[in-house]
Structure 1
Amino acid sequence: MLRVRMFGRFEVWRGEFPIPESAWFTRRAKQLFKILLLARGKPVPSDQLLDWLWPHSDPQRAAITLRSTVHALRRALEPDRPPRASQYILSQPPGYAVARDAPLWVDVWAFEDLLEAAGRAVTPEERRTRLMEALALYRDDLLIEDPYAEWVLMERERLRERFVEAALDLAELLATAGMPEKAIPLCRRVLTLDEFREPAYRALMRYQIAAGDVAGALSTYERCRQVLIEAFGVEPSPPTRALYEALLRGELQPVRPAIPRPVQDLPIPDREMEKIFVGREAELERLREVFAGLPRGRGGVGILVGEPGAGKTRLAVEAIRQFAHDADVLYVRGLFIERTLPFSCLAEGLRRLLSQLPEDRRAELPVFALAQVARLIPSLHLLYPNLPAVPDTTPEENRHRLIDGFSNLIIALADQRPLVVFVDDLHWADEATLTVVGRLARRATRHSLALLLVHTPEEEPEGREVSHLLESLRREGIGRWVRVGRLPEEAIAQWLARWSGEPVESMKDLARRLYSLTDGNALFTAELLRAALATGEPVRRETLERYLEGPAAVSSLRGLITDRLARLPEGAREILEIAAVIGRAFPIRWLDLVGPPDPEPYLRILIERHFLQEDAEERLSFVHDVVRRVIYEAIPPVVRRRQHQRLAEALVALYGPYPGPYSAEIAYHFQRAGRFALPAMVRYAVEAGDHARHAYGFRQAVRHYDEALSAATVAGGEGLAEWIRRAYLGRGMA
């Protein structure tokens, strides 16, 4: 399959590799290919080719040279095929042609096909989408490296005219749909190509007026007038002057359309507690400054640091609700079990956000960045079926291109609408995601982009990649640091008062007792209140006092969670143990493989009692990772190993022998299943290393290969020779 780009500079890709300049043999071979492509399957007479390519040569000599040039072209396109058997270049009287059925994609052909599809579209939405796809292909004028070639001049003008007409058509469709601000850049691009196109000035003025930029519309008129007077000595036409004069008389007023709701992918809070937020006024005030410049295109970085259970995530959600309620939110959560998968948490968050974006916004995103990111988010091909092939270069260059792809795509989203990138549990994020976060942090102040980074230093794994990132940001003066400490007694008293509806003064003694138990840890305090709620009594001060005086009240968070766990039905406890072993959000259908029969009644109990939560994609996760860890550590070791074994086998059955991104997860569970499962662990650790290497996570790949080799040594190596060989080979390549 060949992919050819003719808009801008001429490029030909064979599969994922560009055809190098040296492969063309002669410059005329490339020129010949361009001419035949512009004919789009129609034969170009040999006499015409001779006139264009060798205008001053003897006709007989030129004819011989043409035949050798055709031979060189065929060799360049298909070096492994006999020249006379070319599937691309045909000898077709009276000359030569590109085969119509050849495996060939050409941007000029696709551009015109999309414009034709737009003309046949039934709905305005479909027409907008096709036009957006077409205009995205027009990188620059046709074959800009051949500015004066006779055979390209007329075609360049024709395609430029088609682009201009399509751009103005799309601009009108966007304005009609209530998006004049998106129509304005299209008009400006048209005027860069043709500064004398007066209808484009009028359209730009109308869209600026609709967007509320009256001063911009007046400036556009003055520019139009100046250009026409300097070039032709004439004033703007009557329709343009009439629009200007109506604007001066105040007859044209901006009509602001309804603003679409933002896409906010936020963690679901506790329904009982979400309206109660106390004791964080100073922290919120510091975070306000991170979001203050978003409407003006200037973002910032907020870094929330605190112990487990301090309430960092809740604070971040509240800050977004108060200061960025009109912004989109990209929620990225680092997970312990996925920390060795390159770009894993970032790719998952971006997949969810893009799937919720309106179609017109998706169509405006940069195609090449989408194509880069789609290598790790295959589902994007369902949203963008015509993404171009991504050229393959050196592994290190490919890795940098992926980082650029993620960074540029997120910046493009922020340029569409203010965007908050909320990275929860930053300490578990993979190295590649951290690299992208660093790039975004350094660019945030130049875009409508805010980053909220939630970090728990006590849980940071070996390697200290997160510390290195945060230390570099601190040295560069980037970010507003917010230490999230423990709640004071006064805040707990306010919490109790709002929760019960009683005066704050009457709650101070109770708050003091609660503080003595929890030491102000927000999660522990919330768990105690939930435990009191679970008694079924009315929410009053007396209820809380009786609970704290009774035997159910415990003096540690671990004990409290264990006590709540003991009050659950057996089937619900089994689901919690399975969820704790899984270690991350997981599809509900996984329970059909490893859960109890008919899990639905137990799931309802676990969600109602605030152990688990369900997201919009029907995935389950713990309300807090501390709760998961307490439950996991309470499982007897022999049961825990058996659960890991069952889960690993279920994932193998579900995702097949080559599970790609799930390889690391399967290897992890086989490793935790005990020594007898190490041979299986070796295989999937090697698969995980291969997957990480192909995703350009070289350090993570080496880690997987080393784990495979270490496990093979412990297992004795019997029957593992092939996997050991692959581990060494992959490690060397990484």
Structure 2
Amino acid sequence: MGTLLEPLGWVHPREREHKAVYRAYLFGPFRVFRGGEALGQRSQRREKAQLLLKWFLLNPGQPRSIDELIDLAFPAAAPDKATSSFHVAMHCLRRMLEPDLRPGEESSYIRRSSNNFYRFEADDQWWTDTAEVDRLFDQGRMSDSRGDAQRACFYYGQVVGHMNRRLLEDDNTDEQWLAPYRRRYQALHREALLRLVQIHGERGQIDESLEYAHQMLIDDPYNELAVITIVEADLAHGRVAHARHRISTFLDDLTHDLGIAPSHDLLTLNTRVRQDLTHPPRSEAQRALATTSSRAS
């Protein structure tokens, strides 16, 4: 069995998380910790500070004007009141992150320029699950491009593991500002699942491929590759009745709900299922669809 150890300097993803002074979790309910202490007890003032922190964590190093941040946090307030409330929230945020800051002392993380632009500088004391997902996905894609299937599956699996909850699922503000971030991470999640199904299927690791195929259907109930993978497994185990019911239901849903025609590969598999041809060369349709899906990605 191969090893997942990298050359000197490689650190397991969980080790980076546990060594960080600040840990922020944006998938699922929003949580931030300094050491073992949870930051940001609920109050109206702290909720606005947390809203600003969410934006900063999703956009590290990116400067934004005071007007843009006010529009985010206080969109309905009168201009004078909004500006005053913004400065109160920023003061609260600085103290939340660094309670020992002295009056007038510069924050280590929230930087303000002379022209009233703000940015968040996360150093190596910070760990966020969103930044970790970005890094892991890049590592998975790099390993994938090198043909290192084992390591690619490791990194893609880590991505999927972090993203088992919706981004900022407890956010009660207007979700419009969050929509682009949610779409972006949903796309990463789907691509990681797609490659996990494909790679494990190509390696003959049926149980692993099935696991991720079922997860794909939860995320995308009209995913043909996921259904082909599951139906192929039903046929391989002699569950012809299950295979017939699953593909028949899927074809009906695909036609009635989306109004689109099924692919040639899905129709070919449906013919096999109806004729009970359970022992053709395995995964021919799956490989063809995997190639098509990979090009589309």
Q: Tell me, yes or no, whether TM beats 0.5.
A: yes
What is the RMSD of the two structures over their aligned residues, measured on CA atoms?
A: 2.6
* Residue matched to 1:552: none
SS at match of 1:55: coil
Instruction: Verify the 8 A CA contact 1:37 1:98 in the aligned structure 2.
Output: yes
* Residue matched to 1:145: 170
CA distance in 2: counterparts of 1:103 and 1:223, whole angstroms: 51
- The yes-or-no answer on 1:91 pairing with 2:112 is yes
**CA displacement at 1:62 relative to structure 2:** 1.6
- The yes-or-no answer on 1:188 pairing with 2:214 is yes
* Residue matched to 2:126: 104
CA distance in 1: counterparts of 2:90 and 2:69, whole angstroms: 11
Q: Which amino acid aligns with 1:135?
A: V
Instruction: Verify the 8 A CA contact 2:40 2:50 in the aligned structure 1.
Output: no
Within-5 A mapping of 1:412-431: none
CA distance in 2: counterparts of 1:187 and 1:232, whole angstroms: 20
CA distance in 2: counterparts of 1:89 and 1:102, whole angstroms: 15
- CA offsets, 1:63-99, max 9 Å, x none? 2222221111111111122374322222246632221
* Residue matched to 1:53: 73
**CA displacement at 1:255 relative to structure 2:** 8.1
Aligned length: 256
SS at match of 1:56: coil
Q: 1:89 to 1:253 in 2, by over 3 A?
A: farther
- The yes-or-no answer on 1:165 pairing with 2:185 is no
Instruction: Verify the 8 A CA contact 1:45 1:95 in the aligned structure 2.
Output: yes
- The yes-or-no answer on 1:219 pairing with 2:241 is no
- CA offsets, 1:578-610, max 9 Å, x none? xxxxxxxxxxxxxxxxxxxxxxxxxxxxxxxxx
Q: 1:22 to 1:202 in 2, by over 3 A?
A: same
- CA offsets, 1:483-536, max 9 Å, x none? xxxxxxxxxxxxxxxxxxxxxxxxxxxxxxxxxxxxxxxxxxxxxxxxxxxxxx
CA distance in 2: counterparts of 1:153 and 1:46, whole angstroms: 22
CA distance in 2: counterparts of 1:207 and 1:156, whole angstroms: 32
Within-5 A mapping of 1:36-435: 36-82=56-102, 84-92=105-113, 95-121=117-143, 122=146, 123-146=148-171, 148-210=174-236, 213-253=239-279
Q: 1:201 to 1:66 in 2, by over 3 A?
A: same
Q: Which amino acid aligns with 2:123?
A: D
* Residue matched to 1:388: none
CA distance in 2: counterparts of 1:33 and 1:97, whole angstroms: 11
Structure with larger Rg: 1
Q: 1:105 to 1:235 in 2, by over 3 A?
A: same
CA distance in 2: counterparts of 1:27 and 1:254, whole angstroms: 59
Q: Which amino acid aligns with 2:184?
A: R
Instruction: Verify the 8 A CA contact 2:240 2:276 in the aligned structure 1.
Output: no
- CA offsets, 1:666-691, max 9 Å, x none? xxxxxxxxxxxxxxxxxxxxxxxxxx
% identical equivalent positions: 25
Within-5 A mapping of 1:251-650: 251-253=277-279
Q: 1:236 to 1:42 in 2, by over 3 A?
A: same
Instruction: Verify the 8 A CA contact 1:3 1:12 in the aligned structure 2.
Output: yes
Q: Which amino acid aligns with 1:61?
A: K
Q: 1:131 to 1:232 in 2, by over 3 A?
A: closer
Instruction: Verify the 8 A CA contact 1:41 1:99 in the aligned structure 2.
Output: yes
Q: Which amino acid aligns with 1:90?
A: R
Within-5 A mapping of 1:680-699: none
* Residue matched to 1:16: 36
Q: 1:69 to 1:203 in 2, by over 3 A?
A: same
Q: 1:181 to 1:64 in 2, by over 3 A?
A: same
SS at match of 1:26: helix
Q: Which amino acid aligns with 2:66?
A: S
Q: 1:232 to 1:2 in 2, by over 3 A?
A: same
Instruction: Verify the 8 A CA contact 1:2 1:105 in the aligned structure 2.
Output: yes
Name which structure has the greater RCO, CA cutoff 8 Å, separation 6+.
Answer: 2
**CA displacement at 1:134 relative to structure 2:** 1.6
Q: Which amino acid aligns with 1:106?
A: T
CA distance in 2: counterparts of 1:128 and 1:105, whole angstroms: 23
Instruction: Verify the 8 A CA contact 1:190 1:200 in the aligned structure 2.
Output: yes
Q: Which amino acid aligns with 2:137?
A: L
CA distance in 2: counterparts of 1:233 and 1:160, whole angstroms: 23
SS at match of 2:156: helix
- CA offsets, 1:18-52, max 9 Å, x none? 22524884211111100111113212332222222
Q: 1:32 to 1:240 in 2, by over 3 A?
A: same
CA distance in 2: counterparts of 1:96 and 1:24, whole angstroms: 22
Q: 1:200 to 1:59 in 2, by over 3 A?
A: farther
Q: Which amino acid aligns with 1:178?
A: G
SS at match of 2:119: strand
* Residue matched to 1:27: 47
CA distance in 2: counterparts of 1:134 and 1:254, whole angstroms: 34
CA distance in 1: counterparts of 2:211 and 2:178, whole angstroms: 28
* Residue matched to 1:306: none
CA distance in 2: counterparts of 1:59 and 1:230, whole angstroms: 50
**CA displacement at 1:211 relative to structure 2:** 5.7
- CA offsets, 1:519-559, max 9 Å, x none? xxxxxxxxxxxxxxxxxxxxxxxxxxxxxxxxxxxxxxxxx
- The runs of 5 or more residues in structure 2 that have no matched partner are 1-20, 283-297
- The runs of 5 or more residues in structure 1 that have no matched partner are 257-734
**CA displacement at 1:115 relative to structure 2:** 0.4
Instruction: Verify the 8 A CA contact 2:40 2:96 in the aligned structure 1.
Output: no
* Residue matched to 2:14: none
Q: 1:154 to 1:204 in 2, by over 3 A?
A: farther
Instruction: Verify the 8 A CA contact 1:181 1:208 in the aligned structure 2.
Output: no
